């Protein structure tokens, strides 16, 4: 089992959950830069069974707009909420997270002073796509993830506005290559 280094500070997680609870009926009306089109967690080659913890992993969200991070930007974050034990009965659960009991999050947050997105788990990059979309990528390692297999959803949050993908009660699942082939 890998070391848990990405667990969200309790206050941040509570702020996120509170925002989700308050904004439940407005999820379909989020601004374009919070409109998540796709999300993926992918292991990168080399897929070497002898060095799983050090293996590179990308968390990638594509949004239907252009995030603006600069002086004056409020709380703006993109990432994934993780049910580390794939058990909805443990962790934090609210209607917006139906199907998940969330124990951790991995995200990139705007640092307004530096005008860049930062993450404690690795490098963050933003790349414009076609038709005004933006791909937000966090490059980290398996060791920085809170478990080797888990359920997850992608989220975007700006202030008290929150969106997720897939929509409730659906969720995604991830596991290392080794676990997936057994």
Q: State the minimum distance, in angstroms, from the CB of residue 101 to Ca ion.
A: 3
What is the smallest separation between the CB atom of 86 and Ca ion, expressed in angstroms? 7
Q: Are 165 and 36 in contact (CB under 8 A)?
A: yes
Comparison of 91 and 122: residue with beta carbon closer to Ca ion: 91
Q: How far apart are CA 16 and CA 10, in angstroms?
A: 10
Q: Which residues are near Ca ion by CB under 5 A?
A: 83, 85, 87, 90-91, 101
Which residues have CB under 8 Å from 60's CB, separation 6+?
A: 38, 39, 40, 41, 42, 135, 136, 137, 138
Q: Is 114 helix (H, G, I), strand (E, B) or coil?
A: coil
Q: How far apart are CA 48 and CA 66, in angstroms?
A: 36
**Shortest Å, Cβ 100 to Ca ion:** 7
Tokens of 130: 């076609």
Quick one: 38 or 90, whose CB is closer to Ca ion? 90
Q: Is the CB of 85 or the CB of 111 nearer to Ca ion?
A: 85
Tell me the closest approach of the beta carbon of residue 112 to Ca ion, in angstroms: 32
Looking at the Cβ atoms of 92 and 135, the one nearer to Ca ion is 92
Spell out the residues 6+ positions from residue 131 whose beta carbon is closer than 8 angstroms to its own. Answer: none
Choose between 160 and 172: whose C-beta lies nearer to Ca ion: 172
CB of 103 to Ca ion, least distance (A): 5
Distance CA 168, CA 155 (A): 12
The neighbouring-strand residues paired with 162 are: 157
Q: φ and ψ at 176, to 5 degrees?
A: -65, 160
DSSP-derived secondary structure letter, 180: H
């Amino acid at each position: 089992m890998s070391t848990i280094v990405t667990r969200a500070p309790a206050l941040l997680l509570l702020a996120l959950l509170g925002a989700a609870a308050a904004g439940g009926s407005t999820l379909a009306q989020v601004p374009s830069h919070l409109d998540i089109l796709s999300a993926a967690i992918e292991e990168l080659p080399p897929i070497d069974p002898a060095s799983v913890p050090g293996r590179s992993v990308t968390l990638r969200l594509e949004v239907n707009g252009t995030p603006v991070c600069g002086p004056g930007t409020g709380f703006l974050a993109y990432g994934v909420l993780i049910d580390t034990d794939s058990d909805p009965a443990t962790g934090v659960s609210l209607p917006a997270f139906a199907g998940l009991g969330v124990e951790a999050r991995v995200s990139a947050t705007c640092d307004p002073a530096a005008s860049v997105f930062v993450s404690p788990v690795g490098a963050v990059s933003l790349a414009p796509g076609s038709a005004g979309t933006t791909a937000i990528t966090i490059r980290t390692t398996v060791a920085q993830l809170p478990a080797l297999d888990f359920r997850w959803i992608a989220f975007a949050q700006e202030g008290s506005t929150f969106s997720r993908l897939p929509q409730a009660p659906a969720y995604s699942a991830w596991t290392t290559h080794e676990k997936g082939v057994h």
